[in-house]
Structure 1
């Protein structure tokens, strides 16, 4: 069975693992997932991730908790395969009053909403994280 939206599957896996207080979660690997996880690690939402090679490449993600509670309160897909959402840099959303981040796919690569505003580039709104 093929996965229709691999990014949404990644987010569901992370949300489900955190709901069960798991330390690690494994998901199928792709370059876009690695780029998204790199952004989440850079912003401090996950501890680490390791990509494994083989016949079925996987990514093992080490989740992050603070005082027993998951660091990620909400991980939500914005742009979906059936309904793409685009925004220019002036209209990028502020997630929870600036406490969270939105990840944007721009012509210069993946960026947070703050980085996209500073670079004055818009793009496809991938997700919001709080």
Structure 2
């Protein structure tokens, strides 16, 4: 039994990038699906596909690399809020990742979104991870 499924999700993506894989398959959950949608909308992954088979299903993520230099679009994935220590941010003090070049993914009352979308919608929430 995995105690932190979000950390497992981020670790699988991180390991796939380090091994230069094109596709990574991850067990699905609703929160992981929403994080995947945010990553796609912000341009960090090339594509994704939700596979509904079995009791849980899975997510196939096509990772994005620069066509010439083969540098991955995701350089760093960092888990912020952990099960042992949750981190929350109000709309007044949303985190700035890499001085605005990266994104923070937040779980808010209006759904999972990036820090910039949360500022526009005027909501705070749990800071799940930083990506740049």
**Interval containing the TM-score (normalised by the shorter chain):** over 0.9
- The equivalent residue for 2:80 is 78
- The equivalent residue for 2:113 is 111
Q: Normalising to structure 2: TM-score of the pair?
A: 0.94
- The equivalent residue for 2:37 is 38
- The equivalent residue for 2:6 is 7
Q: Secondary structure at the match of 2:43?
A: coil
In terms of mean alpha carbon deviation, does 53-62 or 120-129 score higher? 53-62
- Deviation, 1:25, is 0.6
Moved over 4 A (4+): none
Q: Does 1:68 align with 2:70?
A: yes
Q: Deviations over 1:32-90 (max 9, x none)?
A: 10000000000000011111122251111100001301100111111111110001011
1:8-27 matched pairs, under 5 angstroms: 8-27=7-26
Aligned CA RMSD, in angstroms, stands at 0.9
For residues 89 and 104 of structure 1, the distance between their equivalents in structure 2, rounded to whole angstroms, comes to 11
For residues 38 and 104 of structure 1, the distance between their equivalents in structure 2, rounded to whole angstroms, comes to 13
For residues 94 and 87 of structure 2, the distance between their equivalents in structure 1, rounded to whole angstroms, comes to 11
- Deviation, 1:119, is 1.7
Gaps of 5+ in 2: none
